[in-house]
Structure 1
Amino acid sequence: MDLGGLVARNARMVGAKEAVVYNDRRYTWAQVNQRVNAVANELIKQGVKKGDKVALWELNTDNFVFAFYGAVKAGAVAVPVNYRLAPREAEWILDNSDSTFILFNDFFEPAVVEMKPRLPKIKGIYSMGEERYDSCPALEDLMANGDVSEPGVAVDEYDDSMILYTSGTTGKPKGAVLTHHNQMVLTCSMASMVGINPDDIIMNAAPLFHAAQLNLFLNPGTYMGATHIINRDFEPTRILQLIEKEKVTQFFGAPIMFMMMMGVPDFEKYDLSTMRFYGYGAAPMTAEAVKQMIKKFQCENFFCMCGQTEAGPGGVALKPSEQVRKAGAGGKYIVNMECRLADENDNDVTEPGVVGELCIKGETCMREYYKNPEATAATIIDGWVHSGDLAVMDDEGYITLVDRAKDMIITGGENVYSKEVEDAIAEHPSIADNVIIGVPNEQWGETVMAIVVLAPGASLTIEELREFLETRLADYKRPRLLEIVDMLPRNVSGKVLKFQLRDTYKDATA
């Protein structure tokens, strides 16, 4: 089975069942399949072949669903692009992925038109919104009037289905290549773990370009023929309203999303009784926050999902029955996966409390990093994906993350890698040296902080630095704290002692 085939099967078997709801637009599975087919047939008509890359630079909308399944149904490899990226960052992904077509939200039309001459591999661009442009056709018109017959492309379960870009310590994102088979196995894992079934109504509020929402909820929900509620802009009151109105049964969010929902003044007035399971992940959540969440939502059916994009995503999970007793832990192994902790020599770490690197193995794990054999070889060793996350295991086998070997910062559920930000800051003419750290933040988990050494006679404010980085980095990657120092602390090898800086500035506030 393949991802596009799931939509076609749902159209045949439960065609009249409600499939996708976005604002005031509601679609059955038969209608979704028609729109998906129109996208697939248009791409094929324009020359897309099996294995070609199709980029989706789109917000959380109904059109993301149609474009994603249309691309994979045509035999193409979908490349979801983070809609929070700055144009230069997105352009790098579009080029590195060898994308031949870009399907984008109206918001990005000026940026796409401006960068297109620098992307010679791009054969066509399509807008995915209400506006009409001279620069490109509108996907909405093609879906309304295009060929809705089945494309007839033979897609194998082991064909590549998507490339999900995840940041790395080199400063450039790496593309994790996943197959249709990875997703089919993952749907079975999710169905067994959180019980996704055909009667579920799933809230898709976290970004669909993320592995978590796309592969843990959208695809498994489609596999089961469930109903998807698509929410574009996360506004906590609206989410609560939608849960009540649409009788949502499954919801996933980053910890910050739950904190914002709990902060709604009249939270208690919303009827959330239809909810069967809440999932949280993408960032650590403290034990105290977990307990507050359970009390506020008056529900213990929470799952902690602690995983990695390169694993599908996959990793470990903490079940509802363990939420209070093991609050703050990542959890244990997930069905269809194995996990272990490894030392610097790749030997197993089994002693409780001893730090090791979390390693994951299973049929949901990526095939490779796209066009990056060196990074692939360094990450996948003897079939194990080395996550770069440092963790400890207790005497019952529960794993808790304690640090990140790759200097990753997690702010509001978004991953920020220090090297990428440091490289961008280094372009500023007033800065002679710099380092990026994450400092604790009660609301966002961590805040990005820049510690810089200025060039002789130079001056700099945080506002000036953020303005300089506006076209270079997404907003969440830009520092919100700035400290100017005479020199950075380094060891004898010249490496900056970040642990000292984290300790020094742990109480800094933006």
Structure 2
Amino acid sequence: MTTLAGVLARTARRCPDRIAVQFGDVALTYAELDREVDALAAELAGRGLAQGDRMLLLAGNSDAFVVAVYAGLRLGAIVVPINPRSAPTEIDYLATDTGARLLLFGPEVADGVRAWHSLPDRTGEAEPLALGAVEGYDDVRSAARDHAARKHAARGHAARPAHVEVSEDDDALIIYTSGTTGRPKGALFDHRRVLWVGINTSIGMGLRDGERMLHVAPLYHAASLNMLLLNGMMLGATHVILPAFEPATVADTLARERITFFFGVPTMYTHLLRLPDLADRDLSRLRICLYGAAPMPAHTAEALVAALPDAWIVQACGQTEGGPGGILLHHDDVVARPEASGRVAVPNTEVRIVDPSGNDVEPGGVGEMIMRGESMMKGYWRKPEATAETVRDGWVHTGDLARIDEDGYITLVDRLKDLIITGGANVYSAEVEGVLAAHPAVGDLAVVGRRNEEYGEIVVAVVDLAPGASLTLDELREYGRTQLSGYKLPRELTIGAVPRNPSGKILKHRLRVDLDG
């Protein structure tokens, strides 16, 4: 069947001896990965996981994460990957919201699972099962391997789960949104939609059979999971996985493992570019560098192009609700217009920039980016009102405000909910951030509005200083004065950390709460 787990089985038959997953000392060929998935699926079926059940997956980047995802999919369950740094109350919200039957977790997050399981007012009833040795919990991965080995010894073949008829129209994944504006919502996808994400990504970025992909961005995130991991299995890619981002380790791995494709959020590239010996490494095999999940300052994009002359630099700008899907800025356009967010829609996707009445805006105008295509979500899990608000006449309304110019370049300028209106004038925070982020004293920056009796809102810059730097409000305003109108310049400066989620997106709702008290 044309399903995600079916694709893995086909690839295992096509190139059984090719390395599929490499994590630390673990290297699984496609044949070995397929057998491990079968074994864990059989174990989970014996513990009651059935078709249509929800399975929470709380684990960091690892081979165990990959095996667990496919084991759930092979049973026809709906896999719900969640942030391994989730607080106990957040785990409970997701377990309750999905009505999950099982919670599979990695040993590295055992303390968080214990804390969730000990909550006095816990409502989620998912049974926690470990993907490794954890005191007090069943290790289902080891159990699956032991059962498979015993069955193979007795009957001469590996353990397989009971046959389940899974179709491409069956639900496969619930991926929760970033929650940058409040509580996250679960975007629901069936197998067909996720397969289309892979097709669109491969066409749009020129991916090839046998790519060597480095995964360091969180695998539970839609971009890493749908665009790269699940898609890469169709291509017979080798997935080299790191547990966390450390600049020198990433650079060394890119060179040593002859990586051909790398995805990172802008802050990762910023730290890589700061390595004094980056140019000493042989990165000639690196064909494609993808960035996205958050805006990249133009000066960083320019520096990336200069530092990696052999690589094709691509920006993807979209949303979880799109699969993800949205717009692309290809290498030549990154060079020509590094401040832009995209110029062409992802293949098999339509994108428009519209005014509040749904009409296309004229070149130079600002409107909401909307999109439709085969990879769009079915809707938000058990939230029909939120679905109806976001998906209208087949179009996903992203809530992103964007400007389109005469040459077709699209530049995100803000979120609808983040728009700052000061003295009756609109200020788009992304525009201000793009200018001020280039100040040499700025390590990280966010621009938000704070309530003000006279102006309605005033512009506030929150700056995390570069090492050893200092900065005053007057210095920051003077720096931005040549490129920004006076009303767009910050009236207040706050020095401190800029809160971001694991995808690199700024948590502006948290900043606004802190500023408004």
Q: Distance in 2 between matches of 1:448 and 1:341?
A: 23
Say yes or no: does 1:509 pair with 2:504.
no
Q: Partner letter of residue 124 of structure 1? A: E
Q: CA deviation at 1:297?
A: 1.8
Contact 2:54 2:101 in 1 (8 A): yes
Alignment of structure 1 residues 249-260 onto 2, 5 Å: 249-260=260-271
**Inter-partner Cα distance in structure 1 for 2:141 and 2:115:** 22
Among residues 132, 135, 145, which one is paired with 2:134 in the alignment? 132
Structure 1 window deviating more from structure 2 (391-400 vs 110-119): it is: 110-119
- Equivalent residue number for residue 175 of structure 2: 164
- Structure 1 residue corresponding to 2:348, chosen from 336, 348, 352: 336
* Residue of structure 1 in register with 2:248 after alignment: 237
How far 1:407 moved relative to its partner? 2.8
Larger displacement relative to structure 2 (400-409 or 104-113): 400-409
Q: 1:402 maps to which residue? A: 413
What is the DSSP-based 3-state SS (H/G/I as helix, E as strand, rest coil) of the residue aligned with 1:353? coil
Question: Does the CA-based 8 Å contact 1:198-1:225 persist in structure 2?
Answer: yes
Q: Which residue of 1 aligns with 2:101?
A: 100
Q: Give the C-alpha shift of residue 388 in structure 1.
A: 0.4
When residues 506 and 316 of structure 1 are mapped into structure 2, their CA distance, relative to the original with a 3 A threshold, is: farther
- 5 Å-filtered alignment, 1:93-492, equals 93-116=94-117, 118-119=121-122, 122-129=125-132, 131-134=133-136, 136-147=137-148, 148-151=158-161, 152-168=163-179, 171-331=182-342, 332-349=344-361, 351-407=362-418, 446-447=445-446, 488-489=451-452
Unaligned 5+ segments in structure 2 are: 149-157, 421-432, 462-488, 497-517
Q: 1:216 to 1:170 in 2, by over 3 A?
A: closer
**2:101 is paired with a residue of what secondary structure?**
strand
SS at match of 2:282: coil
CA shift, 1:90, in A, is 2.4
The secondary structure found in structure 2 opposite 1:70 is helix
Structure 1 residue 278 displacement after superposition: 0.5
**Counterpart amino acid of residue 133 in structure 1:** E
1:298 shift after superposition: 2.2
1:501 Cα deviation from its structure 2 partner: 4.2
Following TM superposition, by how much is the alpha carbon of 1:497 offset from its aligned partner in structure 2, in angstroms? 4.0
Aligned position for 1:28: 29
Kept in 1: contact 2:319–2:325 (CA 8 A):
yes
2:448, 2:459 within 8 Å by CA — same for their partners in 1? no
1:98-131 CA distances to partner (integer Å, 9 max, x unpaired)? Answer: 11111112232233233236555535211123x3
User: Could you tell me how far apart the structure 1 residues matched to 2:300 and 2:94 are?
Assistant: 35
User: Could you tell me which residue of structure 1 aligns to residue 70 of structure 2?
Assistant: 69
Once the 2 structures are TM-superposed, how far is the Cα of residue 265 of structure 1 from its aligned partner?
1.9
1:85 to partner: Cα distance: 2.6
Cα deviation 1:277-316 (Å, max 9, x = unaligned) = 0000011112222111111122351110001000000000
- Where does residue 461 of structure 1 map in the other structure? none
What do residues 175-203 of structure 1 show as CA deviations (whole Å, max 9, x unaligned)? Answer: 10011111111111111122222221001
C-alpha contact 2:130 2:139 (8 A) present in aligned 1: yes
Q: Which runs of 5+ in 1 are unaligned?
A: 410-436, 452-487
For the 8 Å contact 1:102–1:122, the answer to whether it is kept is no
Q: What is the rounded CA distance, in whole Å, between the counterparts of 1:65 and 1:394 in structure 2? A: 42
What is the Cα deviation at residue 438 of structure 1? 13
- Cα distance in structure 2, aligned partners of 1:84 and 1:343: 38
The equivalent residue for 2:4 is 3
Checking the alignment, whether the CA contact within 8 Å between 1:79 and 1:164 is kept in structure 2 is yes
Q: CA RMSD in A?
A: 2.5
CA distance in 1, matches of 2:295, 2:349: 21
Contact 1:169/1:406 (8 A) holds in 2? no
Give a deviation string over 1:390-410, Cα, whole Å, max 9, x none. 00111122211011113399x
Answer with 115-124 or 143-152: which moved more.
115-124
Going from structure 1 to structure 2, the CA distance change for 1:107 and 1:336 (only over 3 Å counts) comes to: same
Tell me, yes or no, if the aligned pair for 2:53 and 2:77 is still in contact at 8 Å. Answer: yes
Instruction: Output the CA distance in 1 between the equivalents of 2:19 and 2:178.
Output: 36
Contact 1:183 1:364 in 2 (8 A): yes
Identical residues among aligned pairs (%): 36
Aligned residues of 2:21 and 2:240 also touching (Cα < 8 A): yes
Q: Counterpart in 2 of 1:39?
A: 40
Q: CA deviation at 1:143?
A: 3.5
Instruction: Name the CA distance, whole Å, in 2 between partners of 1:403 and 1:266.
Output: 36
Q: Distance in 2 between matches of 1:230 and 1:506?
A: 42
Once residues 222 and 247 of structure 1 are traced to their aligned partners in structure 2, the CA distance between those partners, rounded to angstroms, is 18
SS at structure 2 position matched to 1:327: coil
- Quickly say closer, same or farther: Cα 1:137–1:288, change in 2 above 3 A: same
- Cα distance in structure 2, aligned partners of 1:154 and 1:371: 24
- Are the counterparts in 2 of residues 161 and 180 from structure 1 also a CA contact under 8 Å? yes
The one-letter amino acid of 1:112's match is: V
> 2:475 — aligned with what?
none
Deviation of 1:47 after TM superposition, in Å, equals 1.4
User: What is the rounded CA distance, in whole Å, between the counterparts of 1:282 and 1:500 in structure 2?
Assistant: 24
Give the ranges of 4+ consecutive aligned residues of structure 1 lying more than 6 Å apart after TM superposition. Answer: 437-440, 448-451
CA distance in 2, matches of 1:58, 1:316: 30
